[in-house]
Structure 1
Amino acid sequence: MFLKKLLFKLIRRYKPRSYGWFNSYSTWQEAQNQCSGYNSDAILKKVKTSTLKVKSGEAVFERDGVIYDQIYYSWPLLSQLLLAASQNNGQLSVIDFGGSLGTTFFQNRVYLQQLKKVQWSVLEQGNFVTTGQSEIAGNGLDFFYTVEEAIQNKGEHQVLLLSCVLPYIEKPYELLDYLLKFSFEYIILESTYYNYQPYDRICIQKVDPVAYDASYPCWLLDYEKVKTIFLNDYTVLTEYETGIHFYLDGERVEYKSVIFKRKDSLQN
């Protein structure tokens, strides 16, 4: 059995791959210099085309511009969103940081439509926000450039959602410090991958060309270190592995989710 596992790891480590996660870099800039980046008009065009089909009902579900013939739900995430709404008179307000053109909103809209009121504010790169505002927004879905702008236009939001966002932020801990200042009642780090070792690591991700042709630097963060950032003001409601994974250095890297609630709101 030991030899079988060792052979499996060696195959994973040395089997040639054209996409996935690669190498280790000392700085973000060093990795970025070898990447094409995410800020591409071709990527936006593909995501927009797929999202418009979902919005109109021509397609069922899209993720990263790829259309699927069924919706892949994250039931723990949806349950938490509905629970948050139930504690707020059937109303839900979400800031979806890095939410593309509303993937998660459309993924769950059959359920969200049953609520009394939904405000779903997506924060994204400038070209995505501009497109979202002009072609996608409606029925509670809006697009903003900053948290401040979203709050100014739509008021305080209950939930902060970050779906696999932190790996693609150059300074993720600075971002978290900034977001914590807004005192969201719930913070959800949804389906995010972390390093299989207890330290932060910078890699390059080459995207499966089925989605689009791109490569960019990314963090494999230390999961426990990330959690610690929240624990002064928040408590962990639940944490779990999503079942999604990939391999790096022959080791399995898991996607995890964790849901926090602000301590001073626990009685609610």
Structure 2
Amino acid sequence: MKVFSKKKKNITPPLPLYGWFGDYSSWEDASCETGGYHQANILKKTRNALLKIRDREAIYERDSVLFDKKEYPFPIIACLLHIAAKRENTLRVIDFGGSLGSTYFQLKDFLSPLNTLRWHVVEQPMYIEAGRQDFENEQLKFYHTIVESMAIEQPDVILLSSVVQYLAKPHDFLSELVKYEVEYLLFDRTAFISNGHDRLTIQRVPPEIYDASYPSWFFNEMQFMEHFSHYTLVADFTSYVASEADLYIDGQLAGYDKGFLLQKNAL
């Protein structure tokens, strides 16, 4: 009598509901399956959260979520203080894609000893309107474009935190960015692919943050850095957000978040 053993079936685990998915050939194709970053609910939740920060009713906000304990991006703090130390304790920042001033509110305790701090957020029109209405102060201002901000004051550094991967044409933007010839460029929480070419995905956000989805790039790091041939890499660092050290696409480990401080080469 033969005894047959049951073979174990290889069961593929289901894909997660939230995170990054797909490999899209164009921004238009990805956009057709998402709501985009212009959704009013994102602004509404971010605004309500930051009003609590402004009014000292809450301690810390990131991506519209309130926390009862602050997480500090110490590499960003170190980079900004390094720049300020070379400028007689003054610092002028353009925070591109800086929401309603989230990073400003997160860092201002560390930057308060500076003699002068100017923080210009460049954002979408609806964020500019909300920012000017509820959050502007002597240090924090809101502008529609980098050019508009620079017409007011020349920055020491342009900060780009978790923003370039959400642009439709990021390489065109980076090519324009270097033409401003700002001495320092500071990237943070920028998504890179572990292997291969740039990859365009869809990011689905957990509803406890906000109900949204939008196209999201993962960059080839070497190609990304080719834009900065006239800059020197001062420092690079991993994301201060622990969950972003490793990034998964379609449930598979595929990328990572990283930051850089770049300084323009002397003529």
The amino acid that maps onto 1:104 is T
3-state SS of paired residue (1:108): helix
CA distance in 1, matches of 2:196, 2:16: 25
> 2:193·2:254 contact (CA, 8 Å) conserved in 1?
no
1:241: which partner in 2?
A: 238
CA distance in 1, matches of 2:238, 2:13: 26
CA deviations 1:117-139 (Å, max 9, x no partner) are 10000011110011101111113
> 1:198·1:223 contact (CA, 8 Å) conserved in 2?
no
2:138: which partner in 1?
A: 139
CA deviations 1:122-167 (Å, max 9, x no partner) are 01111001110111111301100011111112x1000011001111
Give the structure-1-normalised TM-score.
0.91
3-state SS of paired residue (1:49): helix
Q: Number of matched residues? A: 253
3-state SS of paired residue (1:127): helix
3-state SS of paired residue (1:194): strand
2:76: which partner in 1?
A: 77
1:64: which partner in 2?
A: 63
The amino acid that maps onto 1:182 is Y
CA distance in 2, matches of 1:114, 1:160: 21
Is 1:37 aligned to residue 23 of structure 2? no
1:224: which partner in 2?
A: 222
1:95: which partner in 2?
A: 94
**RMSD between aligned alpha carbons?**
1.5
3-state SS of paired residue (2:114): coil
The equivalences for 1:1-268 within 5 A come to: 14-153=13-152, 155-231=153-229, 233-242=230-239, 243=242, 244=244, 245-249=246-250, 250-264=252-266
3-state SS of paired residue (2:180): coil
3-state SS of paired residue (1:129): helix
CA distance in 2, matches of 1:123, 1:14: 42
3-state SS of paired residue (1:24): strand
CA distance in 1, matches of 2:237, 2:74: 12
Q: 1:252 to 1:195 in 2, by over 3 A?
A: closer
CA deviations 1:31-62 (Å, max 9, x no partner) are 10010111112111110010111111111111
Report deviation, 1:252: 4.3
Which is greater in Rg? 2
CA distance in 2, matches of 1:30, 1:226: 23
Unaligned runs of 5+ in 1: 1-9
CA deviations 1:213-234 (Å, max 9, x no partner) are 0001111111111111102x10
> 2:218·2:255 contact (CA, 8 Å) conserved in 1?
no
